[in-house]
Amino acid sequence: MYAVITALSAWAIPVIIVFIPLYAAYRKIPAYESFVEGAKDGFDTAVRIIPHLVGMMVAISVFRASGAMDLFVGALRPLLDKVGIPGEVMPLAFLRPITGAGSLAFTTDLIKQFGPDSLIGRIAATIQGSTDTTLYVITVYFGAVGIRKAGYALKVGLISDAVGFVAAILVCYLVFA
């Protein structure tokens, strides 16, 4: 089974790269012109979302640089110790819904500090895979298409992130501890 998965992984992208132009030629679709048109649309979208990205990055920088995150985690530390959540991973609960790059950098730091096979390293990596950048997605993508009422999406996204955070910790304790 491992050999089959390895072979599929090695050939998947080359096959797709060859298949798409051949299929486009078969269907008489101008593949290159379609690609260029899509790239133009993508560039226009990127220009529209830049103000949203800048606003999000400034807010994240202010939150971290002000020491508010450290203060908040410090206040929660006694409660976290009682329920068995390592306080070191708690900033991921706040960073991950906001920024993928920031949370990945924080996870990388945790793995460098504690090791990839430590419980904290495994919990951090599992949180990265179990949660999403909800606020980023809502800010950027909803802002790009002009959606102003995102209340329900925000609630569901943040609840999903909280469930993913707790589930990641529980699964890591069940599997690795």
pLDDT tens for 39-60 read 998 888 778 777 877 777 787 7
- The reply to whether 166 falls in a domain is yes
pLDDT at 105: 85
- The reply to whether 24 falls in a domain is no
Average pLDDT over residues 74-82: 89
- The reply to whether 127 falls in a domain is yes
CA separation (Å) from 83 to 72, 75, 106, 121? 17, 14, 22, 18
Q: Is 111 exposed, middle or buried (0-12, 13-18, 19+ CB in 10 A)?
A: middle
pLDDT at 138: 86
pLDDT at 19: 93
- CB-side neighbour CA atoms (13 Å) of 109: 10
Average pLDDT over residues 111-134: 93
> Total domain count for the chain?
1
Instruction: Quote the CA–CA distance of 72 and 42 in Å, as a whole number.
Output: 39
pLDDT at 175: 93
Tokens read off for 57:
């990055």
DSSP-derived 3-state class of residue 168? helix
- The reply to whether 84 falls in a domain is yes
Q: Tell whether the model's pLDDT for residue 35 goes beyond 80.
A: yes
- The reply to whether 83 falls in a domain is yes
- The reply to whether 18 falls in a domain is no
The mean of the pLDDT values for the chain is 88
Tokens read off for 158:
């943040």
- The reply to whether 139 falls in a domain is yes
Domain of 59, in residue numbers? 48-176
pTM for the structure as a whole: 0.67
DSSP state of 28: T
Percent of the chain with pLDDT over 70: 99
- The reply to whether 92 falls in a domain is yes
Instruction: Quote the CA–CA distance of 159 and 97 in Å, as a whole number.
Output: 11
Instruction: Quote the CA–CA distance of 85 and 152 in Å, as a whole number.
Output: 28
Structure confidence at residue 173 as a pLDDT band (50, 70, 90): very high
